[in-house]
């Protein structure tokens, strides 16, 4: 507002001054202060941005962690499902295998069915664990491998001890022409073995080319705690001694069960498992793995001639040494092979399988007729418990596989219908016949592992029992 009597120049000057003062009043902050404030403001903004960046990183890390945690249960769930599927498949396989091999009923047989065959039976030869018997007809003597197998429970293996035992096993001779003849332990000459546990045996009789004297050569599987081997002896009937000839060692002798000599130097041997540890062997049986083998020794080297076999136990040759018989414990059959002329390789040609119906053990062959005598077990599970000492007795069953003459071959007829485009096949005749010969509930001898025949007498042994059982058959077999 203009003052009274104020000139126009003075009013203009006053207005100018006021404008300057107002500007100065509005500019209390100096340019430097303004710059500093701006800088502080900028720093504050940058700090906020940096803080926000670290927060973002933390948030991203937390999100990643949560995502990983969410993914891990999914992967863990997938692994669990896979393991569960494998477990179910394994259980299914074990159940089926267990049913087929353990629970599936064997051939029904009772004492009444064989009572007309087995006559007077009596215990004889009270020796520990007679597991195998070999007959020498010309000498009228039976060789018996004996071993007190009380070490089985504490051993890591079924077939041999884990450490040196207090007592060794032995080989006994039993006179066959005496009904109650006493067994005599054979003296071992030139044998330095401090750990002798004989199992399967085989005898081969030959004539010395220089002296023309007959020699009985005995091949014996030794289940030593140091490892399995085959000991070779020559027998002297006059002195009742076995003179050691040599020891055969091989990495292929894993679980040797039985042996069959084909001449004075060569033999075949069965490995009834691929794992020597007893738990691995039980797993083989339960899972149904076929990992057994037959090993051939040509006098210098060993080689496998048969592999992937279902628990080959017993092995024997025909009297003319042209065929080899192998018992399959889990498959309940006896397999017959033809020997070839290749003595270096020992190749075998499969001929036929004979179904027995029980778990077959050691084989014995009648040198005159060629009949095969088979000790067998009705149930594997009870046999295993008995072998470990948890079941006091187990039935004993012996069958004879009779070799038929050509005129007595049994004709087979196919059950397949005769169709126009597919005519009924012609089946080869049966050359063997299976006959039940002996059955016992185990009171007289439990879980027989071998049955040998001589002059209408049946001699049974068991690796768990401490005696032999001798029966005179009532009917001509």
Binding site residues for Ca(2+), as ranges? 132, 258, 361
Token reading at 141 = 């003597």
Start-to-end Cα distance in the chain = 155
Torsional sign, CA 380, 450, 154, 231? negative
Instruction: Report the distance separating Cα 27 and Cα 57, nearest Å.
Output: 43
Instruction: Report the distance separating Cα 220 and Cα 160, nearest Å.
Output: 14
Instruction: Report the distance separating Cα 139 and Cα 205, nearest Å.
Output: 11
DSSP for 247-267 reads: EE--TT-SSEEEEEESSSS-E
Torsional sign, CA 293, 453, 219, 128? positive
Q: Are 291 and 273 in contact (CB under 8 A)?
A: yes
CB atoms within 10 A of CB 44: 10
CA dist 351 → 51, 270, 430 (Å): 88, 18, 12
Instruction: Report the distance separating Cα 390 and Cα 392, nearest Å.
Output: 7
Strand partners, 133: 144
Rounded to 5°, the CA angle 389-390-393 comes to 80
Binding site residues, as ranges? 132, 258, 361
Instruction: Report the distance separating Cα 2 and Cα 458, nearest Å.
Output: 155
């Amino acid at each position: 507002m203009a003052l009274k009597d104020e000139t126009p120049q003075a009013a203009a000057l006053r207005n100018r001054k006021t404008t300057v003062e107002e500007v100065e009043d509005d500019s209390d902050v100096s340019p430097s202060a303004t710059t500093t404030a701006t800088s502080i403001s900028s720093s504050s903004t940058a700090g906020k941005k940096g803080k926000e960046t670290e927060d973002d990183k933390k948030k991203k890390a937390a999100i990643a962690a949560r995502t990983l945690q969410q993914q891990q249960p999914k992967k863990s769930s997938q692994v669990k499902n896979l393991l569960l599927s494998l477990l179910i498949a394994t259980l299914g396989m074990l159940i089926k295998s267990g049913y087929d091999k353990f629970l599936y009923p064997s051939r029904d047989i009772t004492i009444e069915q064989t009572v007309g065959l087995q006559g007077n039976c009596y215990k004889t030869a009270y020796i520990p664990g007679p597991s195998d018997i070999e007959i020498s007809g010309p000498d009228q003597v039976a060789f018996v491998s004996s071993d007190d197998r009380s070490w089985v429970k504490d051993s890591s293996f079924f077939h041999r001890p884990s450490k040196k035992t207090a007592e060794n096993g032995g080989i006994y001779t039993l006179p066959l022409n005496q009904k109650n003849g006493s067994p005599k332990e054979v003296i071992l000459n030139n044998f330095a073995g401090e750990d002798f546990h004989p199992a399967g045996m085989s005898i081969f009789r030959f004539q010395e080319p220089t002296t023309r004297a007959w020699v009985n050569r005995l091949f014996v599987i030794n289940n030593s705690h140091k490892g399995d081997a085959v000991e070779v002896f020559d027998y002297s009937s006059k002195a009742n001694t076995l003179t050691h000839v040599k020891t055969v060692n091989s990495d292929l002798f894993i679980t040797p069960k039985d042996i069959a000599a084909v001449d004075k130097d060569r033999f075949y041997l069965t490995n009834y498992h691929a794992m020597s540890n007893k738990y691995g062997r039980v797993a083989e049986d339960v899972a149904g793995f076929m990992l057994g083998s037959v090993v051939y020794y040509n006098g210098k080297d060993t080689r496998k001639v048969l592999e992937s076999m279902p628990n080959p136990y017993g092995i024997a040759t025909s009297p003319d040494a042209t065929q080899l018989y192998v018992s399959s414990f889990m498959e309940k059959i006896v397999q017959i092979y033809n020997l070839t002329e290749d003595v270096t390789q020992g190749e075998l040609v499969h001929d036929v399988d004979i179904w027995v119906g029980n778990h077959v053990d050691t084989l014995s062959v009648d040198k005159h007729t060629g009949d095969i005598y088979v000790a067998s077990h009705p149930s594997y599970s009870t046999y295993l418990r008995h072998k470990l000492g948890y079941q006091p007795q187990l039935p004993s069953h012996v069958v004879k596989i009779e070799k038929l003459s050509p005129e007595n071959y049994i004709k087979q007829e196919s059950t397949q219908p005769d169709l126009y485009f597919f005519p009924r096949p012609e089946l080869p005749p049966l050359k063997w016949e299976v006959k039940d010969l002996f059955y016992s509930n185990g009171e007289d001898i439990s879980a027989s592992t071998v049955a040998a025949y001589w002059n209408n007498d049946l001699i049974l042994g068991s690796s768990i029992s401490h005696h032999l059982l001798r029966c005179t058959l009532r009917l001509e077999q």
